[in-house]
Amino acid sequence: MGETIRLASGFDGFELAAYRVRPADARRGGLVLVQEIFGVTDHIRELADSFADDGYEVIAPSLYDRLERGFEADYGQEAIAKGVKYSQETPWDQVAGDLQAAVDALKPPVFVTGFCWGGAATWLAACRCTGLSAASAFYGRRIRELKSETPKVPIILHFGKTDASIPPERIDEIAAAHPDIPIHMYDAGHGFVSDRRADYDADCARLARLRTLALFANNGGGRSSV
């Protein structure tokens, strides 16, 4: 359904690839979809396609392109280690500039959502990027590093109650720093939206998606006239 485009980063002008898919029906808005540590994989493209089915023009930027163009990892230990390494070598200022380029490539209203490392990047975008209307961040372990920054748009957070990589005290730190931000807890582990992972939970994934779509709808993501 989608196509590959190029974005010029607001950080350094670097041209990174991105997957873009447009809705077949009336457009509700634009959506920046932020990858996990695994890159812009089949799973991320399928998520983008599904949001397009809901009426959103979606751009999923390849945020590791400076390190390895077209990076896509599986869920093996070696691939996970490489994805973690790349995430650690990708500075937040650079991520913010890359995401701003994606936001700027979409007509408003523009929203952002992301998963795992992309969940933290979603928080970052909500704090630093201009032109956004709302954000929905999924199991962003590294939000803790950014909790001193305050989102400029409405945002909701999603975490799994049995996520061993994000202990409850980390979530409590975020809640203490930002008591007005909704934090939704699910009876699931890390990566519960991905049907490629052992912790996939269809019911939790659907509920989190419905909450995300409701947030977007309440912040400008209404059906356009045909």
Q: Is 163 a catalytic residue?
A: yes
Instruction: Kindly state the tokens that stand for 83.
Output: 């994805």
Tell me how crowded residue 52 is: count the other CB atoms within 10 A of its CB: 21
Q: Is 201 a catalytic residue?
A: no
Q: Which residue has the tokens 């390849």?
A: 62
Query: Which member of 43, 158, 178, 190 is catalytic?
Result: 190
Query: Which member of 98, 116, 158, 178 is catalytic?
Result: 116
Distance between CA atoms of residues 39 and 70, nearest Å:
8
Distance between CA atoms of residues 39 and 17, nearest Å:
11
Torsion sign, CA atoms 191, 195, 198, 199: positive
Q: Is 127 a catalytic residue?
A: no
Distance between CA atoms of residues 76 and 84, nearest Å:
12
Query: Which member of 163, 178, 201, 204 is catalytic?
Result: 163
14: Cα separation from own chain's centroid: 21
* Angle at which helices 92-104 and 117-128 cross, to 10°: 70
Residues tagged active-site: 116, 163, 190
